[in-house]
Amino acid sequence: MIRLGLRLTLGSGREAALRVLVTAAAVALGVGMLLACLAGANGLHAQTDRGAWLDTSAQAVAPTSTSGRLWWLTSTDEFSNQEIDRVDIAASGPNAPVPPGIPHLPGPGEYYASPALTTLLRSEPANELRDRYPAHQIGTIGAAALPSPNSLIIVIGHTARQLSQAPGAVEVGAIQSTPASCYACQNTTGSGPVLQFILAGGAVALLLPILILIATASRLSAARREERFAAMRLVGATPRQISAVSAVEAAVAAVAGVAAGFALFFVFRPLLYHVPFTGAPFAQGDLSLQWIDIALAVIGVPVAAVVSARLALRRVQISPLGVSRRASSRPPRIVRIIPLLAGIAVLAYFDAVGKPGSNGSQILELLVGFVLLIVGLVLAGPWFTTAGSRLMAKRANRPATLIAGRRLLDNPKAAFRFISGLVIALFVASAMIGALSSIAAATSSSSGGSAGRDTLSELFCSFYMSNCPASAEVSSVPGQVLDELRSTPGVRAVTVVHQNPTQAQLGTSFGVVACDQLAKTPAIGKCAPGATEASIGYFLSNLLGHNSNASSTVWPSAHLSAADVARLPVDAVVVATNGSSGSLERARTTLERAFPFQGAPVAVDALDPSTARLLTMIQDMTDVIIVASLIIAACSLAVTIAAGLGERKRPFSLLRLTGVPTSLLHRVVALESALPLFLVAAVSIVVGLVSAALYLHSQVGIAFSIPGIAYWATVLGGLAASLAIITATFPILDRMTGPEVARNE
């Protein structure tokens, strides 16, 4: 039967060859997308592994010997919205470990920089960037230590005595080689649960539409194959033999598609290196395939195609007398919406009782909830299609509406299959864009607007660390530093926040400030009427809601004299600028030179560096997933419409013989596709936005905001493209429904 199946598949004329080629092309596209997704996941792992050394900590690699110790301090700098990973190190033993990518430890006054940072240091004015690192460069960091070719990393050498006094410095015994399991690590590509969250979400968002495309392609021309198999049964073929022939035909097309898919992947892989999966390009060799990935495509796709072809024949029943008939499908039952409701219930439950305590449980909650929602949308789609088609048929007042409604009721599963890929794409876009737009809205509402973006704050150790060592306390800001800041072009005002002697616990009050200075930096609040000194709280923007809007906050009086405040240690220096990039970077450079181990100054409305980096990474991943999902959905829609027209060309040709004009057939096809498209798309959009709102409220604690115009433009663009694809099939419909199709053989 295998030889017969090959002969029927490859030697049955132009129609059979065209069917195999079209199926193989669709499978190739799906396999190419699948391989790109798997290679992207491998690339993310490769980036994270190379950047694992940046997450070195005393907890992960505590020193075990006195000779192999290294003082270590990591921080995140910033230049023109670009993150710079800074590592300050000092050997405290003769056998101190050496970070990857450099031949030996830099001595005091020396540093290594990544190639991208080296170029940046040479191209930018010294007073905006290079002066932050008062040492000389002795080499570049090798590719083995760079998560991405454009990573900005600097390793600066110090004496052990100097660095041991720096707040936050730790003594380690080795350099970390595996990603740390923490959410707030310095790694430029994220690590641990963060990476798991992104990879899991991306896999769920992309793999299911790809599998739908592959399964749809394997069912091309199913109706024509069923007719041929029915004729074979009439001449004595057994069901087992029919299944073997069907499996051979599906396997031939799938194997050809897999081979072409690998070719597509390798041809377009050079372009994938520039796709910003994490906001940073991949290095050569990152987008590799593991043996399990190759096995999944080479074995899994043909097997899935064979199973799909076998399932396509399950409704074909041939009587002993040779009378073929197609079993009517039962209408979808309401139980199909249970997984969808269960997914919403999971997210609502954790919204009501609070998020799980561990990182792993939080990821599990997210995966379970969103997998249930995606699977639920796929299962519930035919039920929603049935409900809408019943209403359309009941209220039909035109022939096209009645015919479309009755045809949808005849096979709602096939009708939903047309638009299932787009439905998932819209759900992914709604959930991700809804979450990110809400985070952006919460961030902007908690900032001081443009004044917050133009205001830098250097927070000293005692301001935000409960265990800050006494040696890190800043007793005062040198006058020459204040003079240099005030004389910097573009700087409007400098405010010094002093340590509050009575209230220094998180959530109460952090410092005191003179009201005449505070009036010049409105981004961090204002004084009460009549007060001369204010007790000021935390004023940086963040996602945890310490201060919803610092610029409008009226701080209470500190009840201290100006002389008393001036004698207090300093907690922060706030610099208001005119907003130009040059003024911000010059002020940042001055502060970093004056206080080299106190961390980089940040804008008042900025998130902390690790959170900002994570949000950027998620935004880039979201853009890639949405674009890829829409491409997959468009391809799936084109394939399913082509398959559907092929299966329905005989009844359409009979309608044309009875005098039905082609314009009416066009309206029937449009209504059959548009009803489930708009109905289930609306459901997926609502479910996506609701799930984003529940997750944000339970996990992050911020209010949900309706996405902006960009989201709705994406949705309308996707729907318009789908309607354009449907309209493009009308000429095909006209050609394939001629009178010759209706003849009996």
DSSP 139-207: EE--GGG-SSTT--EEEEE--HHHHHTSTT-EEESS---S--S-SS---TT--THHHHHHHHHHHHHHH
pLDDT digit string, tens, across residues 374-385: 888 888 888 988
Return the closest-CA partner of residue 632 out of 643, 620, 621, 640. Answer: 640
pLDDT digit string, tens, across residues 408-451: 888 788 778 777 777 877 887 788 788 777 776 666 555 445 56
Looking at residue 539, the DSSP 8-state letter turns out to be -
Q: What is the pLDDT of residue 115?
A: 95
**Cβ 634 vs Cβ 725: under 8 Å:** yes
Amino acid at 393: A
Q: What is the pLDDT of residue 266?
A: 93
Strands 491-499 and 511-514: antiparallel
Per-range mean pLDDT, top range of 308-322, 590-604, 618-632, 701-715: 590-604
Whole-angstrom Cα distance, residue 384 to residue 21? 34
| pLDDT beyond 80 at 365 | no
pLDDT digit string, tens, across residues 159-184: 998 888 888 888 888 888 877 654 43
Return the closest-CA partner of residue 419 out of 209, 242, 190, 180. Answer: 209
Return the closest-CA partner of residue 268 out of 476, 446, 495, 36. Answer: 36
**Cβ 137 vs Cβ 118: under 8 Å:** yes
Q: What is the pLDDT of residue 185?
A: 45
**Cβ 540 vs Cβ 602: under 8 Å:** yes
Across the range 382-404, mean pLDDT stands at 86
Q: How many other CB atoms are there within 10 angstroms of residue 689's CB atom?
A: 21
Residue 320: what are its φ and ψ, rounded to 5°?
Answer: -60, -25
What is the separation of C-alpha 415 from the centre of its chain, rounded to a whole number of angstroms? 30
Per-range mean pLDDT, top range of 472-476, 504-508, 578-582, 628-632: 578-582
Give the angle subtended at the CA of 361 by the CAs of 360 and 366, to the nearest 5°: 100
Look at 684 and 199; give whichever has higher pLDDT: 684
| pLDDT beyond 70 at 284 | yes
Alpha-carbon dihedral angle through residues 579, 580, 585, 588, given to the nearest 10 degrees: -20
Looking at residue 740, the DSSP 8-state letter turns out to be G
pTM, two decimals, is 0.73
Q: What percent of the chain has pLDDT over 70?
A: 72
In the three-class reduction of DSSP (H, G, I as helix; E, B as strand; rest coil), residue 637 is classed as helix
Q: How many other CB atoms are there within 10 angstroms of residue 20's CB atom?
A: 21
Return the closest-CA partner of residue 172 out of 267, 82, 62. Answer: 62
Q: What is the pLDDT of residue 189?
A: 44
Residues 6+ apart with CB under 8 A from 217: 23, 26, 27, 30, 253, 257, 305, 639
Run of H or E including 497: strand 491-499
Looking at residue 235, the DSSP 8-state letter turns out to be T
pLDDT digit string, tens, across residues 205-238: 666 666 666 666 656 555 556 666 677 777 777 7
| pLDDT beyond 90 at 101 | yes
Run of H or E including 672: helix 662-695
The two tokens of residue 730 are 């009308």
Q: How many other CB atoms are there within 10 angstroms of residue 415's CB atom?
A: 27
Whole-angstrom Cα distance, residue 699 to residue 706? 18
pLDDT digit string, tens, across residues 219-228: 655 555 666 6
Range of weakest confidence among 179-188, 549-558, 724-733: 179-188
| pLDDT beyond 60 at 56 | yes
**Cβ 288 vs Cβ 265: under 8 Å:** no
Amino acid at 570: V
Whole-angstrom Cα distance, residue 371 to residue 355? 18
* Confidence at 121, pLDDT banded by 50, 70, 90: very high
Whole-angstrom Cα distance, residue 465 to residue 2? 73
Q: What is the pLDDT of residue 199?
A: 55
pLDDT digit string, tens, across residues 59-69: 656 666 666 78
Half-sphere exposure of 608 (CA within 13 A, CB side): 13
Return the closest-CA partner of residue 80 out of 117, 135, 134. Answer: 117
> In which residue are the tokens 């410092």 written?
511
530: left (phi over 0), alpha (psi -120 to 50) or beta: left
Return the closest-CA partner of residue 645 out of 630, 676, 666, 675. Answer: 666
Return the closest-CA partner of residue 44 out of 363, 237, 212, 273. Answer: 273
Whole-angstrom Cα distance, residue 609 to residue 613? 6
Across the range 620-644, mean pLDDT stands at 70
Strands 455-459 and 570-577: antiparallel
